């Protein structure tokens, strides 16, 4: 909040300064007894240029930090009879020290299914060339067991054929060497057993089943986050 106030003050003092400069640009030449339109046009261009340079830094509507988007599409090798899932997963992280927020909006699950849970994880590669299989195993930068990987987002309940969920305080990072930027996200057919399956696969992937859909995480401007994520 302190930071936001600071930005607000800076913003309004910047604006005042520009207004003052604009007024002077018009009045000083008049007071001096001549009205050089060329000089005024030059000053006005200069003010406009300064404002355009400052605007991206000062705009109070901008949320700080990094934004990312992952455009979920059905796996290119999806077997007949399996649901074709599509949608968006959005990420926002204010700073390297703050935690990650994510918003999930996916459709294409069977409409008669109102109870099932589906696993979603960050996988090692952003490669979708051979279908979702090309994303490899779970992204595991610290060599730990499932479900302690940074991109283990656990289970998502399907409602009316959709998954809509806003998660906060996630462990994954958009900043730094362990960034999830460029990695893949996979939506599975099954439920994540969260490591309680009693077999080796449980500690690697939670026995989450077929990879239905996937995407590559890329940087974004943040406008999708502003549009799609409901304001609290």
Alpha carbons 56 and 28: distance in angstroms, whole number: 30
Structure tokens at 232: 């609290």
Closest contact distance (angstroms) between CB of 155 and Zn ion is 12
Min dist CB 217 to Zn ion, Å, is: 16
Q: Pairing mode, if any, of strands 184-188 and 162-170?
A: unpaired
* Cis preceding linkage at 147, omega within 30: yes
Could you give the string, one character per residue 69-108, with x where binding to Cu ion holds by CB under 5 A and - elsewhere?
A: ----------------------------------------
Q: Does 192 bind Zn ion (CB under 5 A)?
A: no
Active site residue 154: no
Q: Which is nearer to Cu ion, 43 or 132 (CB)?
A: 132
Tokens found for residue 215: 């995407």
Tokens of 179: 């960034």
Q: Is 121 one of the annotated active-site residues of the chain?
A: yes
Binding mask 117-156 for Cu ion (x = CB under 5 A): ----x-----------------------------------
Using CA atoms, how far apart are residues 205 and 192, in angstroms rounded to an integer? 8
Active site residue 178: no
Q: Residues 168, 169, 170, 175: is their CA dihedral positive or negative? A: positive
Closest Cα to residue 210, out of 84, 86, 97? 84
Q: Which two tokens stand for residue 6?
A: 């600071």
Min CB(181)–Zn ion separation in Å = 18
Residues 117-146 that bind Zn ion (CB under 5 A): 138, 146
188 binds Zn ion (CB under 5 A): no
Q: Which does 152 bind (CB under 5 to 8 A by kind): Cu ion, Zn ion, none?
A: Zn ion
SS3 content of the chain, % helix, strand, coil (to 5): 30, 30, 45
The minimum distance between CB 196 and Zn ion, in angstroms, equals: 13
Q: From the list Zn ion, Cu ion, none, which binds 186 (C-beta under 5 to 8 Å, kind-based)?
A: Cu ion
Neighbour count for residue 110 (Cβ, 10 Å):
10
**Stretch touching Cu ion by CB under 5 A, among 25-33, 84-92, 116-124, 125-133:** 116-124
Length of the chain: 232
- For Cu ion, what does the binding mask look like between residues 168 and 187, x meaning CB under 5 A? ------------------x-
Catalytically annotated residues: 121, 123, 138, 146, 149, 152, 188, 211
Q: Rule CB under 5 A: which residues touch Zn ion? A: 138, 146, 149, 152
């Amino acid at each position: 909040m302190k930071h936001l106030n600071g930005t607000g003050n800076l913003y309004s003092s910047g604006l005042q300064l520009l207004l003052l400069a604009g007024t002077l640009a018009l009045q000083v030449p008049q007071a001096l007894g001549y009205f050089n339109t060329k000089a005024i046009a030059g000053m006005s261009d200069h003010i406009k240029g300064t404002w355009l340079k400052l605007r991206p830094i000062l705009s109070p509507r901008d949320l700080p930090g990094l934004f990312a988007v992952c455009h979920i599409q059905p796996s290119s090798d999806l077997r007949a009879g399996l649901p074709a899932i599509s949608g968006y997963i959005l990420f926002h992280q204010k700073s390297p020290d703050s935690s990650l927020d994510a918003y999930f909006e996916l459709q294409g699950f069977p409409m008669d299914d109102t109870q099932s849970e589906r696993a979603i994880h960050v996988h090692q590669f952003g490669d979708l060339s051979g279908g979702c299989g090309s994303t490899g195993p779970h992204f595991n930068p610290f060599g730990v067991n499932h479900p302690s990987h940074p991109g283990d987002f656990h289970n998502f309940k399907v409602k009316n054929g959709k998954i809509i969920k806003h998660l906060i305080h996630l462990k994954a990072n958009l900043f730094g060497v362990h960034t999830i930027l460029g990695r893949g996200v996979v939506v599975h057919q099954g439920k994540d057993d969260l490591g309680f399956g009693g077999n080796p696969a449980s500690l690697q992937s939670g026995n989450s089943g077929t990879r239905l859909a996937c995407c590559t995480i890329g940087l974004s401007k943040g406008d999708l986050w502003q549009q799609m994520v409901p304001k609290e």
